[in-house]
Structure 1
Amino acid sequence: MEVILKQDIHSLGYKNDIVVVKNGYGRNYLIPKGIATLATESAKKMNAENMRQRAHKEEKIKNEALEVAKKLEGVTLSVGAKTSTTGKIFGSVNNIQIAEALIAKGFEIDRKVIAIKDVVKEIGKYTATIKLHKEVKVDIEFDVVSE
């Protein structure tokens, strides 16, 4: 039985994939739970049309992410933190402080797409990765300074 997946399933496939499953699995689990639909000829045509339109929109989003990535490449941030006399930070610097520093520089980046490679517990230079799109990532250097 061929079905079109409506959502990602770890062991089966991704959303909008056409997969072959056993009849009982498709008829008794996937279709009643709304996870998949039966892959008839008309459903396949609709799926192909939707994928074509989505590819156009996805390309536009990717191009916008690439433009933002070009602007972010030369940016260096400075993040202030309270420190002890030895240079240790009280707490740590996380993606929220990086997002606030980016907003101060004029970039509206969501904190959820920012990942810091190392745990920031001391003053120094570090690197954060911003995932603007599933294919577009930018590394940004930031300095942690004492306030």
Structure 2
Amino acid sequence: MKIILRKDVDNLGDAGEVVNVKPGFGRNYLIPREFAYPATKGFLKVYEQEKKLHENKSARDLHKAQQLAGKLGNLSLEATVQVGEDDKVFGAVTAQDIAGLIAAKGYEIDKRDILLDEP
């Protein structure tokens, strides 16, 4: 059975590829979980439309992120944390804490958009 992958699937292929799979795997697993479409002309058109929508959304999100990064570039934040003996910090400053500090300055950002190497 030929299918069009909607998402990257481990050991099978990347999104947009047309791959051959066993009929049961395609009908019972990939298609119901929206990992793939049957490879027909109609679904090729649907996939192309989805791809264009996704690219447009990604471009808008990137533009918004770049604008926000420009505004936040010179922003300074201070976090108050509890410390114990020998100035050891209890806990950590997390993405949620940083999002709260940024929100207090008047900018809206989701904690999932803040990437930290270490909390």
- Short-chain TM bin: 0.7 to 0.9
Aligned structure 1 segments of 4 or more residues deviating by more than 3 angstroms: none
CA distance in 2, matches of 1:48, 1:60: 19
Matched, 1:20 2:19: yes
Displacement of 1:49 in angstroms is 2.5
Match of 1:58 in 2: 58
Q: CA RMSD in A?
A: 2.1
Find the counterpart in structure 1 of residue 26 from structure 2. 30
Q: Deviations over 1:64-101 (max 9, x none)?
A: 11111111111121111122353211232222221211
Change (3 A) 1:76 1:13: farther
Unaligned runs of 5+ in 2: none
Tell me the equivalent position of 1:103: 103
Tell me which protein shows more strand as a share of its residues.
1
- Given that 1:31 and 1:37 are in contact with CA atoms closer than 8 Å, whether structure 2 keeps it comes out as no
Higher RCO (CA 8 Å, separation ≥ 6 residues):
1
In the alignment, the residues of structure 1 paired with residue 62 and residue 115 of structure 2 have an alpha-carbon distance, to the nearest angstrom, of 19
Report what 1:3 is aligned to. 3
Give 2:37's aligned amino acid.
T
- Choose between structure 1 and 2: higher helix proportion: 2
Aligned residues: 115
Identity over the aligned pairs, expressed in percent? 27
Shift of residue 117, structure 1, vs aligned partner: 2.2
Structure 1, unmatched stretches of 5+, are 120-147
TM-score scaled by length of structure 1: 0.65
**SS class of match (1:4):** strand
- Partner Cα distance (1:8, 1:53) in 2: 18
